[in-house]
Amino acid sequence: MVVDALTGQLLLIKERIQKLEADYILKVNEEDLVSNLVTEFTLDIPVLDESGIQVDYGEHQIDVSGDPERRFSSTPFYVAGTRVTFSIPFTGDVNLFNVQPRQFAMTLSGSGSKTQLDGNEIRITYAAANLDAQGARRNFDAELARIKQNLVNLNESIARHNGGLETLIDP
């Protein structure tokens, strides 16, 4: 939850300030110290680069052993299928994707899709024996809308946190 993440961030700030040596605090310019601490502890909300979205597709071996419409044992059984991967570049702190905003939209990941964070890219992959490309695109568009809404909701809390850092550090 965002509350837990922000509470943890406040504890890190307190810890960082307490570790400063008295000699350093007496010699350093107070404005510079506060500015450096604000910069260090400002959270950088991810921003999606929708103009940079890439799509990759190809053949893929699909395990259909768990498919209730097929009669296979529990051992893996593979058939030829299709994989479509949408890659969304972003800037900002990748770790904030793991923070749940106060209000959030559930994502579809797990129901026919796989979402991965890879560096500064979100990869959403759809794979199936009879994958419908238009259906995958509709699912991706819905998933992208949920991700964007979650980032908007997260940004509300993060913006308040970032805006109050200077007052918190230099009361």
> Greatest CA separation found in the chain?
76
pTM (predicted TM-score): 0.79
40-49, 100-109, 111-120: the lowest-pLDDT one: 100-109
Residue with tokens 């890879």: 118
Going by pLDDT thresholds of 50, 70 and 90, the confidence category of residue 109 is low
Amino acid at 8: G
Instruction: Give residue limits of the domains in the chain.
Output: 2-44+161-169, 47-153
3 state SS of 63 = strand
